[in-house]
Amino acid sequence: MIARILGEYEIRPYKDIPMEKDFLALSQYSRQELDDLFILTRDLKEKQRSGIPHHLLAGKTLAMIFEKSSTRTRISFEVGMFQLGGHGLFISNKDSQMGRGEPIKDTARVMARYCDGVMIRTFGQEIVDEFARYASVPVINGLTDLFHPCQIMADLFTVIEHKGGYEGLTYAWVGDGNNMANTWIEAAAIFGFELRLACPKGYEPDAGVLRWAADKGAKLVLTTDPREAVAGAHVLNTDVWASMGQEAEQQSRAKAFAGYCLDETLVGLAAADAIVLHCLPAHRGEEISDGVIEGKHSVVWDEAENRLHVQKAIMATLLK
């Protein structure tokens, strides 16, 4: 199906991607299926950079539900749908009956009658799971408290661009065991690379995700020492210490995460050609120093751009 649709735009033919109808977590898919998305991402990025139209979703509409505010997620999905020839419809929590207590299953079934797909950025993973259960159109996880699959796909595509591939590299996560850390753990299990996670005691990644990854034979190292995690690593990653909904914990988290700032000293322990990622927004001087995010190791701006290209590949595949 992908080959036939994309052939019209002179994109190289690929085998069909037998993906599920939704994109809720990386663990739904095989390495080959996700690798095929990276190939499609590359070609769509080349088309966009060259100014070549690629209206693969002409006439399609994506409902974008935001229970959490966003800069990059909203812009990248909305612009992505436009570049694919479709339309993105922004719906905030205050703009929908979901925000007034309508059952998720009711909203899901109605939206599926109007739109060709739904992207949700919300709190609980159970919300997107239930929405997908009742919607008859594809549902994309734009972020939950448990997972952030679109971001990690963009991160890995950035690694591929800068390192020629994701294999044979050591990855380090420094900071909170949050949705980003959980999704990196999924990625490590699927793609087979070594991942070291440095998190303070009490802020470890989700235990269920860790068990799932262990059953898959993931190469994981959990430590409370950031220096151990970054030593010789090729890809360094971090995120804010207090995510949306955790603002009241800002002061207590700042104390717990003392010494976890990805600064020049920590980066100096990594491989000489290490790259630094951050999903943004960044609290400079907290989880990452200004010198690092603006320095020679940073690929943060390429990473941010790649949200657009990866999500276009996901939408083109699911809404085809």
Q: Of 151, 278, 297, 311, which one is the catalytic site residue?
A: 151
For the chain, 320 residues long, the average pLDDT of each consecutive 10-residue run is: 33 43 96 98 98 98 95 97 98 80 94 97 96 97 98 98 98 98 98 98 97 98 98 98 77 94 98 98 97 98 98 96
Longest CA–CA separation in the chain, Å: 56
pTM: 0.92
Where do the structural domains in the chain lie, given as residue ranges?
1-148+305-319, 152-303
Superfamily of domain 1-148+305-319: Aspartate/ornithine carbamoyltransferase (3.40.50.1370)
CA-wise closest residue to 283 among 249, 241, 314: 241
How far is residue 12's CA from residue 246's CA, in Å, rounded to a whole number? 45
Catalytic status, residue 74: no
pLDDT value of position 19: 56
pLDDT value of position 20: 62
Q: Of 54, 74, 121, 309, which one is the catalytic site residue?
A: 121
The answer to whether 35 and 317 have CB atoms below 8 angstroms apart is no
**Which positions make up the binding site for carbamoyl phosphate?**
70-73, 97, 121, 148-151, 279-280, 307
Catalytic status, residue 148: yes
**Which positions make up the binding site for L-ornithine?**
179, 239, 243-244
Tell me, yes or no, if the two domains 1-148+305-319 and 152-303 fold the same way.
yes
Q: What is the CATH number of domain 152-303?
A: 3.40.50.1370
How far is residue 237's CA from residue 218's CA, in Å, rounded to a whole number? 18
pLDDT value of position 31: 97
pLDDT value of position 153: 98
